[in-house]
Amino acid sequence: MITDDLELTKIFLDNEYIIGLPTETVYGLAGNIHSEKAIKSIFELKKRPLFNPLIVHVKNKNAISTVAQNIPDIAYQLAEAFWPGPMTLILPKKSGVNELITAGKPTVAVRVPNHEKALQLLEILEYPLAAPSANPFGSISPTSAEHVHQYFGKSLPLILEGGQCTKGIESTIIGFEKDQPIVYRLGTLSLDEIESFLGVKLKQSTHSAESPEAPGMLSKHYSPRTPLMLTDSLEATIEKWPNKKIGVLTFGPQTFALHCHSHLILSENENLEEAASRLYAALHQLDGLDLDLIIAEKFPEYELGQTINDRLMRASK
């Protein structure tokens, strides 16, 4: 069921069901953080490995203290600057946070989504929501209620309609080592924005992808069923596959002499925010065309181009 009824959504969550939750980044698969039944249902429905932690969504920055403790001042400064918004903070967890949510780690991932429906829902609930992306583990993240329905059908009893996700790529994840911020996952909030606010260059985490400290760190992720290749030499790559049914994904308008079955342009004006917001929807579209191969053009390595390349590289492995 796809609905915009907040009270009905609350009833489902209060009764330990999980739901499809709209956010500005991607749709989430959400459940009451205090219900072990709901949390187990998230992992089971997604077929997500238990070593991969979940993100907790809270209604405002003051609610961080309901799930985290010993919070560094810099975390509050970042929350003040960028919440509600596509930034997740990794913080020392409180003892009452379910071990399944944190994958047994001493930290919890937390954020405030910048989406009207999500915030309205969180405001009427008496608990935060744990919500990874609403897709089978490793698949393309969903940016519409219809994407979620296509993935799960009647296995997911309710999806809260929130329209198309405006950002279209997951949140940027920031952790802390000795109270100094460190990037665990590139996301919709560009490093340039965070670094400009902090006045320092951010380090990126070197933690193993096989034992992730935060969601979205696995080396293979966000993948279509169709094999995907990322290239900075579009024509040469297309030429290697003359007998394949190929779909091409580019940043802006491109002219190439070689034949392809389908060509999707993410931004006619080469705007990185627009391209990011359309990335997953474009991959869903190409994945539905029964292609032999998707070839994606590598993006410029700055601002959100870094994030888009990160997602395409993980999708291509």
According to CATH, where is 3.40.50.11030 located in the chain?
A: 228-316
CATH number of the domain located at residue range(s) 2-204 in this protein: 3.90.870.10
pLDDT given at position 58:
97
> Is 16:37 a contact under the CB 8 Å cutoff?
yes
Angstrom distance (rounded) from CA 128 to CA 88: 14
Angstrom distance (rounded) from CA 28 to CA 216: 13
Q: 228-316: which CATH topology?
A: Rossmann fold (3.40.50)
pLDDT given at position 216:
58
Angstrom distance (rounded) from CA 259 to CA 167: 32
According to CATH, where is 3.90.870.10 located in the chain?
A: 2-204
pLDDT given at position 135:
94
Average pLDDT of adjacent 10-residue blocks, the chain of 317 residues: 95 97 97 96 92 94 94 94 97 93 94 97 97 92 95 95 95 90 93 89 70 59 88 87 90 78 92 95 94 94 92 88
pLDDT given at position 261:
85
Locate the DSSP E strands across the chain.
2-3, 19-21, 28-32, 55-57, 87-92, 107-111, 129-130, 159-160, 172-177, 180-185, 203-204, 228-231, 246-250, 262-265, 293-297
pLDDT given at position 147:
95
pLDDT given at position 203:
84
Angstrom distance (rounded) from CA 46 to CA 19: 12
